[in-house]
Structure 1
Amino acid sequence: MSSAPNVYDAEPIPEAARSEIDRLLQSGDLFRYTAPQDAPVALLEAEFAELMGSRFALAVSSCSQALFLALKTLQLPRGAKVLVPAFTFAAVPSAIVHADCQPVLVEVGDNYRVDMGDFEAKLTADVGAILISHMRGHTSDMDAIMALADQRGVPVIEDAAHSLGTMWQGKKIGTLGRIGCFSFQSYKMINAGEGGILVTDDADIIAQAIIMSGAYEHNWKKHPVVHDRFAHWQNKLPLYNTRMQNLSAAVIRPQLAELARRVRDGLANHDYVAGLLNGSPWLDVPAPLLPETRAPDSIQFNLVGLDSDEQAVAFQEAAMARGVSVQVFGLSENNARAFWNWQFIPGEMPDLPQTRAMLMRACDVRLPARLTRPDLDYIATALIDAVADVMAEPRAYGT
């Protein structure tokens, strides 16, 4: 291959979506509550719940809104503390702030997973909830997290935006906690441009979430679930109008059948490239935890022995010169994944030296499931050659 592969375009939307979209455009029926039943959004919810093995699902406008609604359904007091990993996207602590709660950032190790010592130390009696973000699809020790949460009686929400299709101990990520939240944003396994969905087995949680999502008056009757709980919550909850509209559901539904293939191919692609990168003394792809079977659409690796920021930046530039874009999380200005840029969090920002050190040398490369073996070889070779070039000339980088 003479040129770098395009890693940004998504797979084509299945043809089945197009006829449904055309039908919706002809009718103008885009609002989920116009039809008395079987609107595309309602069908998506039933199909997604079945896919996940969950009792209930609610489709909304984004994963951020799913996280926000999840927190609101817990009826936490204003200012309640919510534990969240310090390695995540800014939208996750933003959802906590939006829900009038206080994010408490937990250290993350160089394998991108929650540091369990810091987690346990910060799981104090005044913590109202735990929001575990499986950032970039990396699963923390959910056995230990759930054991501590259950012991303390603290509810767990899973941010599974990057983890649709990931398994833990044979169970689907997003179904381990009380509520799981997923994304349909463009770079996720299922692409609707925007969109999100939450799943739960709790009747009161889904009843609250449906009403708050914008099921005003008696539109909740068009949800074929928990009608015995809606009357309890009628007129007692604010409406946040986070609904998904029918066009998004029409784009998503045919892709559910593609998920298993995308997960299979994405994992094979990731592991193939990881094996090549780990052959370099300067690149390290952390291994998954033993109970975890991942569903990746990107690859993360650490720079080893590149002790200065100048060397890390030089690596980025050398890779880009070969057509491969690399993001070093902590060295990208105003990066939304670097916790020190979350200045919207109330109070003093914690130091978190372990997470900071990881972010300063952790790299991120897109690796969509549709890539071919020559594409993967090109990307891996470009990364390996780029770091070799940098390490061959240490004096140029102040070492």
Structure 2
Amino acid sequence: MTTVHNFLPEQYRQTNQISINHNYLAQQFADHDVILNKIREVVIRGDFTLGAEVDVLEREYAELNGVRHAIGVGSGTDALFLSLKALGIDKGDEVITTPFTFYATIGAIVTAGATPVFVDAGADYNIDASQIEAKITPRTKAIMPVHWSGKPCDMDTIEAIAERHGLAVVSDACHAIKARYKGRPSGSLGTIACFSFHPLKNLNVWGDGGIITTNSDELADKLRLLRNHGLVGRDECRVFAYNSRLDTVQAVVARHLLGKIDHITESRVSHAAYFDQGLRSIPQITVPAREPDIYQVYHLYQILCENRNALQAYLIERGVDAKAHYPVPMHLQPAAAFLGHKAGDFPVTEKISAHTLSLPVHEFITREQQDFVIQLIRDFYA
């Protein structure tokens, strides 16, 4: 039996040795003394879970997304899971989603008791909305589109399908803070939208955290119960539920970054455009099409590459933190064996997984570093 251990410290150590890095946290939190001073006030008040700063963050985040409600929770994964539970999704139900996503999307569906039903990705790495309707059955209760790398999915088509079939739409917007679809903020897309504040997200905290947005008063009330043991007060439990309270300390960090989110977002968009310009002329590279009515926020900057694995190794050896997100799609993971899928079932997803490469695009990368990366890629193929 394989021993499961904490692999993250070694991963952090290896990553920190690379000069042009996906990990930019030391730079992003160089002003940590300002945050620590705000946290000192939390320590004095002693309101460490669901404290006053959480309430303020929720109001600010709802306003940012043009919705009535934002509900802070313990992680982006919990945001997905609790949203499904608030919708009443349980054993025997089906949720349509994409196999090209992070593990948490599928994990939330399965741990909620439902069965994930996969629809292949399109050329933009997002779920191919034209294939969704064919996968709907009497057991389908929701569609979970993933706004991959911060690019919103084809929500006009998805929401129209959902309306025709009486389905909920739970947007996995964990990559998509500040993204917009035809002028609509990402938090207003679908029935519910779910966000992550994981340390490597565009808006991040000092641990795990997440938030859910919705315009539904009923769902917001359910979510506030589900995240906090079903309590409506200290002495009344309305329903036995879960413990997924957003820590007040994390809300302080999130609010600090919320004040910088416009700069963070605009920097990523600018750096992505610069990479696009420099890489499009390389025949062995495919840059995804950019749509003018979709504002993509580039949690990841991804390209399709010939000979991806060799290029990745070449870049890493020269100090560039090139990553594959993710080389094994969800339907081929060991955990998904019970679904009975095999290689070839979702060909676009499998092609993307085999050829996609992510380059650092955060707000601290310089033009000189980007030029260096572009030239390395040219040299590799030359």
Q: TM-score, normalised by structure 1?
A: 0.84
Aligned to 2:5: none
Query: Distance in 2 between the 1:142 and 1:371 partners?
Result: 32
Tell me the equivalent position of 1:145: 158
- The question of 1:177 aligning with 2:179 is answered no
Identity of aligned residues (%): 28
Q: Could you tell me how far apart the structure 2 residues matched to 1:116 and 1:385 are?
A: 38
Aligned to 2:214: 200
Q: Which residue of 2 aligns with 1:228?
A: none
Change over 3 Å in CA distance of 1:196–1:217 after alignment to 2: closer
Amino acid at match of 1:179: I
* Amino acid corresponding to residue 43 of structure 2 in structure 1: L
CA contact (8 A) 1:156 1:178 kept: yes
Instruction: Tell me how far apart the structure 2 counterparts of residues 217 and 76 of structure 1 sit (CA, whole Å).
Output: 21
Residue among 349, 365, 373 paired with 1:355: 349
CA offsets, 1:300-337, max 9 Å, x none? 0012xx3xxxx332222212222113233464xxx5x5
* Aligned counterpart for 2:332 among listed residues 322, 333, 340: 340
SS of residue in 1 equivalent to 2:259: helix
Following superposition, the deviation at residue 217 of structure 1 comes to: 3.7
Do the aligned residues in 2 keep the contact of 1:211 with 1:220 (CA within 8 Å)? no
Query: CA–CA distance in 1 between the matches of 2:338 and 2:356?
Result: 27
Distance (whole Å) between structure 2 residues aligned to residue 7 and residue 327 of structure 1: 9
Amino acid in structure 2 at the alignment position of 1:173: S
* Alignment-derived partner of residue 296 in structure 1: 298
Q: Deviations over 1:191-227 (max 9, x none)?
A: 1032100011111101111111015543399xxxxxx
Relative distance call for 1:47 and 1:16 in structure 2 (3 A) is farther
Query: Residues of 2 paired with 1:330 and 1:213: CA distance?
Result: 30
Correspondences of 1:8-27 after superposition (within 5 Å)? 8-10=23-25, 11-12=28-29, 14=31, 16-27=34-45
Distance 2:244 2:30 in 1: 24
Contact 2:268 2:362 survives alignment (8 Å) = yes
Aligned residues: CA RMSD: 2.2
- Which of 268, 272, 283 aligns to 2:270? It is 268
SS in 2 for 1:360: helix
Counterpart in 1 of 2:360? 366
Between stretches 316-325 and 198-207, larger displacement belongs to 316-325
Deviation at 1:235, TM superposition (A): 4.6
Task: Name stretches of at least 5 consecutive residues in structure 2 with no aligned partner.
Answer: 1-17
Residues 211 and 239 in structure 1, CA contact (< 8 A), matched pair in contact too:
yes
Structure 2 partner of 1:122 = 135
Name the residue aligned to 2:261.
259
The question of 1:29 aligning with 2:47 is answered: yes
**Alpha-carbon contact 1:80-1:127 (below 8 Å) kept:** yes
Query: Which shows bigger deviation, 376-385 or 265-274?
Result: 376-385
- Report 1:174-323 matches (<5 A): 174-192=187-205, 193-214=207-228, 216-219=230-233, 235=237, 237-303=239-305, 306=306, 311-323=307-319
Residue deviations 1:108-137 (CA, integer Å, cap 9, x gap): 023212223322211334311011111221
1:227 corresponds in structure 2 to: none
Match of residue 379 from structure 2: 385
- Of structures 1 and 2, the larger Rg is shown by 1
Measure, in 1, the Cα distance between the counterparts of 2:112 and 2:337: 12
Aligned residue type for 1:9: Y
Describe the shift of the 1:55–1:342 C-alpha distance in structure 2 as closer, same or farther (beyond 3 A).
Answer: farther
Runs of 5+ in structure 1 lacking a partner?
A: 34-38, 222-233, 390-399
Relative to 1, partners in 2 of residues 1:162 and 1:13: Cα closer, same or farther, differing over 3 Å? farther
Against the structure 1 CA distance between its residues 13 and 323, is the aligned structure 2 distance closer, same or farther, given a 3 Å change threshold?
closer
Which amino acid in the other structure matches residue 251 of structure 1?
V
Paired letter, 2:47: D
Amino acid at match of 1:339: H
Q: Could you state the TM-score of these two structures normalised by the residue count of structure 2?
A: 0.88
CA contact (8 A) 1:61 1:243 kept: yes
Aligned partner of residue 187 in structure 1, secondary structure: coil
Q: Secondary structure at the match of 1:129?
A: strand
1:393 maps to none
How far did 1:268 drift? 0.5
Aligned position for 1:226: none
| Residue of structure 2 in register with 1:167 after alignment | 180
CA distance in 2, matches of 1:362, 1:195: 28
Tell me how many residue pairs correspond in the alignment: 359
Structure 1 CA distance, aligned partners of 2:355 and 2:20? 24
1:344-395 per-position Cα deviation (integer Å, ceiling 9, x unaligned): 4643125212211221111122311222211221222223322x15xxxxxx
